[in-house]
Structure 1
Amino acid sequence: MISSNPSLSSYNSDRRNFIKTAGLGAMALTFSLPAMPDDLKVVPMGVVVHSYGARWHSKDGSQKYPGFADAIEMMEHCKQIGAGGVQVIVSGWAQDFARKVRDRREKLDLYLEGSIGLPKSGDEISKFESEVLAAKEAGATVLRTACLSGRRYVDFKTAEGFIAFKEKALKSIELAEPIVRKHKMKLAIENHKDWHAKELEAIIQTLGSEWVGVTLDFGNNISFLEDPMEVIKTLAPYTFSTHVKDMGVKNYKDGFLLSEVPLGEGIVDLKAGVDWCRKFNPSLTFSLEMITRNPLEIPYLTDEYWATFEDVSAKNTAKVLRKINENLYSGELPNVRGLSAEEKLAYEEQNVVSCLNYSRNILGLV
């Protein structure tokens, strides 16, 4: 366990050992699948704020799809369309606003998860702690975070660049852990196109804190040529929260295009993924991250793409590429090119509602 002192002066041999062991991987833990309770309450699928990228803080003035000014307005809408909860950004919440969120959330009977940034240095610990406390006051059960806002294969052109990022990321996690432990709040690190599943598993195992786990994104690691079900199996034992999504894939000259698609239309085995997660955490909530945007380019045929990846299995890579090519998206991948602001808002809403209907009718999240 790392030191409980959050000050920078505590980053001595403990931090060096953490970085070293997290880089090399930790001793694998042995898990057994618990029995599912017969009377377990199933919570309807919730919605991640990024599913409403166009509508969140929108200034477009749409009458039919008015922007969400804050978490309360997003909760109101999500309740109307049958969602079970929300995962929303917690930043700049005053104590009185956090209480308003709590009161409204309780009346709407929704779960609440926060989305929060990690402290980058000791100077940011107080801000991080205030956001943790605001989320706790509002009734959040989990705080999702990410170490990288971008994408590994885009942001880093050399192995050295990625190693420098990794050291900073591990330092940030070390800064955050004593705070969430102090306030008994779960912090969940997303596989956000930064970590291979095994890399994130090693970080969580090495840290060894019951308060730090994973936000399991069902589709992100396809961009790393990892099988989504293998990612789910690897990270499910540590999962505190989820980003449920389905992914469509089409080839292009430098690799493949990757896009969130309505649930059930892509290559992710959603039912198996949900069932596997619930075996490890029967009370886990499932939150939709259906991002309506242009497809992402995954340029795995270029040398630059591989600059930060080491010890990649040719056998596993070939297996994933075979799966991709056997399940290419039949139509045009979702995109927002040429759409007006109103059309983007309508398309986004259509995708969210379609996914929630699938979660009820097919995944049984009702």
Structure 2
Amino acid sequence: MTSLLGLSTYAYFWRMSDRVPDPMSLDDAMRDAAAHDGVDLFQICDHLPLDTASDDRLAAIRALADELGLALEVGTRGTAPEHLARYLHVAQALGATLVRSMWTSGDDQPDALETERRLRRALPAYEAAGVTLALETYEVVATEDLVAVVRAVGSDHLGICLDPANTVARLEHPADVVTAAAPYTRNWHVKDSGFTRSPGWVGFQYTGVRTGTGLLDYDAVRAAIDPDARGINRVIEFWLPWQDETLGSTGDPAQTTTRIEAAWTEHTIEYIRSKES
């Protein structure tokens, strides 16, 4: 099986945001991703225009990806069957074989029984299309509950998008999350994070950090999920804080933030390649 290295729209979070003077479009981000040696995948994750994109627009995105040599994946939030059906259509239009979603979406927070019911309703179409639905680990849902629902449904086209950084806010240890989720993992969000003391030593801040300097045990996660053998794609994303004067930055915050985001992208690609050479 083939495991691809990819970039998420979350790796372009600030460069695509309205906080910068000339934000990247989705097409700009895809072109930038393809320019990085070793990047063969782009995950369009939580990109709201996909919710209502016309088939012509989806065809144009796919054509650009084909031109750039990028495989595509898509990401959304929620388990409402109608919404999952929409994103199956999006995935098929883009030639994507994986949709990442989350158990909840805003005020829509179903319990485990309702989530299982929804998934059983939505999954036959995913199975028929050969598309995998991967639900992400995150702080709103206990990893134990997420694993239990995935196991109960028991579909080869339902799994987990592993992101152990998210669940720290639930006081779950990343290593425990990896162990529990590993057998069901179908997608891996690679990002590093860490704690720093808040100003005045009152509490902590938990944010993204440069890959390899925080809590991420890349080698341990890779060993646990064996992405190459199982065809689990690795998708790079960041939790880069906005760089303003409170962080000791000088100069233009937008310019500083986007420069660091681009530098983190380069560094993380090289970090991963160095681990696997």
**TM-score tier (shorter):** 0.7 to 0.9
Per-residue deviation, residues 283-309 of structure 1 (Å, max 9, x unmatched): 2110011121269xxxxxxxxxxxxxx
**Aligned residue for 1:264?**
212
Whether 1:147 and 2:60 are equivalent positions in the alignment is no
Instruction: Name the residue aligned to 1:319.
Output: none
Q: Match of 1:137? A: 93
1:194-231 deviation line (CA, Å, top 9, x unaligned): 22222211110111122111111131122222222221
- 2:40 equivalent to 1:84: yes
Counterparts of 2:86 and 2:188, CA distance in 1: 24
Change (3 A) 1:191 1:288: same
Q: Please list the CA deviations of residues 103-129 of structure 1 after superposition, one character each: whole Å capped at 9, or x if unmatched.
A: 222232222111123353x6xx1x542
Contact (CA 8 Å) 1:98, 1:138: kept in 2 or not? yes
Task: State whether structure 2 residue 240 is matched by structure 1 residue 285.
Answer: no
Question: Compared with structure 1, are the counterparts of its residues 335 and 202 closer, same or farther at alpha carbon in structure 2 (3 Å cutoff)?
Answer: farther
Partners of 1:281 and 1:98 in 2: how far apart? 31
**2:207 matches 1:247:** no
Change (3 A) 1:287 1:208: same
The amino acid of 2:133's aligned partner reads L
Task: Check conservation: 1:260, 1:292, Cα contact below 8 A.
Answer: yes
Q: Deviations over 1:264-301 (max 9, x none)?
A: 10122102212321268532110011121269xxxxxx
What are the superposed Cα offsets for residues 41-84 of structure 1, whole Å, 9 maximum, x if unpaired?
Answer: 553x211111222122547433xxxx2322x3321110113322
CA contact (8 A) 1:118 1:176 kept: no
Q: Distance in 1 between matches of 2:275 and 2:111?
A: 40
The equivalent of 1:105 in structure 2 is: 65
Residue identity matched to 1:264: G
Using the TM superposition, name which of 337-346 and 80-89 deviates more: 337-346
1:195/1:59 Cα in 2 relative to 1: closer, same or farther (>3 Å)? Answer: closer
Distance 2:136 2:248 in 1: 24
Q: 1:195 to 1:85 in 2, by over 3 A?
A: same
1:231 pairs, out of 152, 170, 177, with 177
TM-score (norm 1): 0.64
Q: Aligned equivalents of 1:218 and 1:171: distance in 2?
A: 26
CA distance in 1, matches of 2:112, 2:249: 33
Is 2:166 the partner of 1:220?
yes
Tell me the residue number matched to 2:146.
Answer: 200
Letter in 1 for 2:91: A
Q: Deviation of residue 337 (structure 1)?
A: 10
Contact 2:79 2:104 in 1 (8 A): no
Q: Quick one: which amino acid aligns to residue 361 of structure 1?
A: S
Distance across 2 between alignment mates of 1:169 and 1:109: 36
**Match for 2:257: what amino acid?**
K
Cα 1:184–1:292 shift into 2, 3 Å: same
CA distance 1:341–1:279, change in 2 (3 Å) = closer
TM norm structure 2: 0.82
Measure the CA separation in 2 of the matches of 1:206 and 1:255: 39
Does the 8 Å CA contact 1:259/1:294 hold for their aligned counterparts?
Answer: no
- Equivalent AA in structure 2 for residue 216 of structure 1: L
Q: Displacement, 1:174? A: 4.1
Q: CA 1:360 to 1:203, structure 2 compared with 1: closer, same or farther past 3 Å?
A: same
Q: Which residue of 2 aligns with 1:9?
A: none
Contact 2:74 2:99 in 1 (8 A): yes
Q: Identify unmatched segments of 5+ residues in structure 1.
A: 1-39, 156-160, 296-332
State how 1:56-75 maps to structure 2 within 5 Å: 56=16, 58=18, 60-62=20-22, 67-70=23-26, 72-75=27-30
% same residue: 22
2:58 equivalent to 1:95 = no
**In structure 2, how many angstroms separate the alpha carbons of the residues matched to 1:228 and 1:280?**
21
Cα gap change, 1:137 to 1:244, in 2 (>3 Å)? same
Contact 1:102 1:137 in 2 (8 A): yes
Q: Which has the larger radius of gyration?
A: 1
After superposition, the Cα gap between the structure-2 partners of 1:277 and 1:287, relative to the gap in structure 1 and judged at 3 Å, is same
Contact 2:193 2:216 (8 Å CA) reproduced = yes
Alpha-carbon distance change, 222 to 363 in structure 1, aligned in 2, over 3 angstroms = farther
SS at match of 2:140: coil
Q: Give the length in aligned residue pairs.
A: 268
Shift of the 60–266 alpha-carbon distance from structure 1 to 2, 3 Å rule, reads closer
Give CA-to-partner distance per residue, 1:146-198, whole Å, 9 cap, x none: 12357xxxx9xxxxx98x65565445434432332343311000012122222
- Secondary structure at 1:286's aligned position in 2? strand
- What aligned pairs does 1:149-168 form with structure 2 within 5 A after superposition? 166=112
1:243 to 1:149, Cα distance in 2 relative to 1, 3 A: farther
